[in-house]
Structure 1
Amino acid sequence: MSDRYQVPPGVEIATQWAWRLLVIAAAGALGIWLLRYFSELTVPLAVALLGTALTISVVDWLNARGLPRLLSTFIVVITMLLAFFGMLALVGQQLSTQAGDLRSNVVEGISQVQEWAKDGPLDLSDTQIEGWVDDVKQSIASSDTTILTRVGEVGDTVTHLVAGFFIALFASFFFLYDGQRIWSWVVALFPRTARARVDSSGHTAWVSLTAFVRATVIVAFTDAVGIALGAWLLGVPLTLAIGVLVFLGAFVPIIGALLSGMVAVLVALVAQGPWTALIMLLVVIAVQQIEAHVLQPFLMGRLVAVHPLAIILAIAAGVTVAGVVGALIAVPLAACLNGVVRHLVAGAREYQDEPEGEVDLGPDPA
């Protein structure tokens, strides 16, 4: 063949890389599609894994003290349920006792806005304001079908949440009680020559996930106490409810506690006016600065070793793929992948550093 028809080496190399990258991208897209298609199953399992990573050490501790593992698992799962429903009860109790006062503040605030619209720089007349109010009422009245549709969607969502809750509950129980046997079965699905690395990579990922969950709980508790204490000192209502919301929101690193803290600012604005809301905003910012410059570097940096930029990118990718649930799962997934990659790279270096002729290949599979 003539030289002018030969493919340049650079193009050949680029082509080989290109089709391999396309295959990897297609496999990744298929995996993401499958996870989203079976989200009613995969999301509860992911939540169960996070809960298991948080509480597995307690089960092991109780088991080491002589309690049967089944009884230890029951104690931990029941404690988790009591803690979860206890937080919901606190929120419900505060809403039931203080919602009336907050509603009065909202009505008073709307009246003040109307007065400002008339007497302030807008200089609106009563006729214009009443016309806008009538337009809002007409829009609400003309959307009965939409409201019914939304109610039906909410009903479906509640059904899925209840089903997901029980899936996560039972999965957590069996992960805590029989997790090692489940993992051994998963490892056995791989070829015999790859099982050792799969097993070691899985344990490395589990260590990273456990460290991430524990660090996140500490950060979330600190955020919740700081913002709730600031709200209590300022006399903002729904203090405990705000604390619970911040604690749950902080499981989405960096942005979760900030967004949930904005709820505290909004409640302060409605209940006590703009100056209290401004001070509440400063409290939220101060707590976020402590998290970003003290807790995150000390805990996340040392225990999880994930760069803040990687955390931001992981959250953005998670939100794009699966919304709030994606943001919740993205960072622990990134932490696990980071740990596994570090482990495999370290293993490859050890393999390369072994003297020629002394490489241990293990027993012959035959």
Structure 2
Amino acid sequence: MPTLSATKTRTAMRNAARVSGQSLLILLLTYVVLRLLGMAWSILWPLVVALLLTTLTWPPVRFLRRHGWPPALAASLVTVLFLGLITGIVVLIAVPVSAQSGKLGQGVVDGIQTVRDWASGPPLHITDDQVNSGLNSAIDKVQASVGSIANATLTGVSTVVNGLVTTILALFLMFFFLKDGPRFLPWLSRQLPGRLSTDLPEIAARSWNTLGSFVRSQAFVGLLDAVFIGLGLWITGVPLVLPLAVLTFVTAFIPIVGAVFAGLVAVLIALVFTGWVKALIVLGIILLVQQLEGNVFQPMIQSRGLGLHAAVVLLAVTLGGNLAGIVGSLLAVPVAALIAVVWNYLREQLSDPVPDVVPETDGEPAERVDAQ
């Protein structure tokens, strides 16, 4: 039986120790970078939103600039049109809803009464006294937790204010990105020394293309959801089809929660105006479309546009949601794609040159030579 070589064992241990130490240093550096990013999140979040919005609005700006428009004028026009589009989306949702608010309110009351009538019959047999007792208990709990509700309200108001500030700052940043974006990479190249002046601008350019692919694919997935769910609502005779379809498209940019929220609104409208049967049909349509979107359309489209396998997309969304909630789910896929961009670039730079193959001549096998 062969014995272990002391020399080879020591060499293997030294190599393992060196690799372990290097891995620990890399993990420590990653931790420090993540902590710094978390401390600067109030600045980074508007920047990220502005970059995502810029990927949507850059194509028309590029078209105008190619046709002789000054950069500031092209960026201003597209920014105004974008704000007009957002306003139009809000109007498409708000006006029909407000026009039928009376029917909607009465429908909600009727729906609650229908639920009470159903609960009072078999198999539940819930009486009015039990309902009133439950309501009184709920009121007592609410009164006992006024302080918590006040704190939650203040937190909600603070969140709304922060959201408005983030939105306004993101719009201003989007305008400057549209106006001065093409100057950024040349400027960055001039500021960096040595090889960094080539590497970082190249990675930035590839990352920009990847972000554009992500936003376009997400918009396409949202459009598919809006079309299919809108057709289902129209076929079943549910009112407010256009506002619900627009709401479905807009909320598609917020993974998981956006789809759930839009689906609940559609089911509620169907329940109020058309009854239980069609509400259940609408629920089935929404679940079917969302399953197709989450398991078929979105992974396929994003995997093609971002160069990621469909399984990687699903795992990234799951991990991002567990780590950072809604924001993590929203940013998980583009972050994974950007990591893949950096990794592919590093692999290109660290790989050996691919040898050239000399064609076969006179029946002799081809020879490989190193690329010059």
Partner Cα distance (1:121, 1:81) in 2: 53
- The alpha-carbon deviation at position 307 of structure 1 amounts to 1.5
Instruction: State whether residues 205 and 337 of structure 1, in contact with CA within 8 Å, keep that contact through their aligned partners in structure 2.
Output: no
1:70 maps to which residue?
72
Seen in structure 2, the aligned counterparts of structure 1 residues 244 and 125 have a Cα distance that, compared at 3 Å, is same
Match of residue 108 from structure 1: 110
> Is the radius of gyration larger for structure 1 or structure 2?
2
Report deviation, 1:222: 2.0
Partner residue of 1:212? 214
Determine whether 1:160 maps to 2:162: yes
* Cα 1:188/1:120, change in 2 over 3 Å: farther
Matches of 1:11 and 1:109, distance apart in 2: 72
- Determine the C-alpha separation between the residues in 1 that align with 2:148 and 2:255: 35
Query: What pairs with 1:338-357 in structure 2 (closer than 5 Å)?
Result: 338-349=340-351, 351=353, 353=355
Pairwise mapping of residues 272-291 of structure 1 onto structure 2 (< 5 A)?
272-288=274-290, 291=293
The letter of the residue matching 1:156 is S
RMSD over aligned CA atoms reads: 2.9
Counting only pairs closer than 5 Å after superposition, residues 110-149 of structure 1 correspond to structure 2 as: 110-149=112-151
Residues 159-308 of structure 1: matches in 2 within 5 Å? 159-188=161-190, 190-252=192-254, 257=259, 260-288=262-290, 291=293, 295-296=297-298, 299-308=301-310
Distance 2:256 2:163 in 1: 26
Q: Percent identity?
A: 33
- Separation in structure 1 between the aligned mates of residue 126 and residue 260 of structure 2, nearest angstrom: 36
> How far has the Cα of 1:268 moved from its partner?
2.2
Letter in 2 for 1:209: L
What amino acid does structure 1 have at the position aligned with 2:149?
I
Deviates more, 1:302-311 or 1:188-197: 188-197
Q: Which deviates more from structure 2 when the two are superposed, residues 286-295 or residues 134-143?
A: 286-295
1:31 corresponding residue in structure 2: 33
The equivalent of 2:366 in structure 1 is none
User: Residues 280-308 of structure 1: CA distance to partner in whole angstroms, max 9, x if unpaired?
Assistant: 13322443465467744664333322212
Cα pair distance change 1:188/1:313, threshold 3 Å: farther
CA distance, structure 1, for counterparts of residue 19 and residue 268 of structure 2: 52
1:178-226 deviations in Å (ceiling 9; x for gaps): 1133334444554412321222222112122212222222221221122
Gaps of 5+ in 1: 359-366
**Residue type at the aligned position of 1:280:** V
Whole-Å Cα distance in 1 between the matches of residues 262 and 24 of structure 2? 39
**2:78 counterpart letter in structure 1:** V
Between the aligned partners of 1:132 and 1:75, the Cα distance in structure 2 is 57
Distance in 2 (CA, whole Å) between partners of 1:118 and 1:278 is: 21
2:299 and 2:146 mapped to 1: Cα distance?
51
Contact 2:317 2:329 in 1 (8 A): yes
Q: Secondary structure at the match of 1:181?
A: helix
Amino acid at match of 1:123: H
Contact conserved, 2:267 with 2:282, CA < 8 A, in 1? yes
Offset at 1:343?
A: 3.7
Q: In 2, distance between residues paired with 1:9 and 1:241?
A: 69
Residue type at the aligned position of 1:85: T
Aligned position for 1:80 = 82
**Counterparts in 2 of 1:218 and 1:335: CA distance versus 1, 3 Å:** same
The reply to whether residue 54 of structure 1 matches residue 65 of structure 2 is no
Structure 2 CA distance for aligned equivalents of residues 290 and 143 of structure 1: 42
For these two proteins, the number of residue pairs brought into alignment is: 356
Q: Cα–Cα, structure 1 residues 124 and 222, in superposed 2: closer, same or farther, change >3 Å?
A: closer
How many Å apart are 1:82 and its aligned residue? 0.8
Deviating more after overlay: 180-189 vs 166-175 = 180-189
Q: TM-score, normalised by structure 2?
A: 0.84
Structure 1 counterpart of 2:213, one-letter code: A
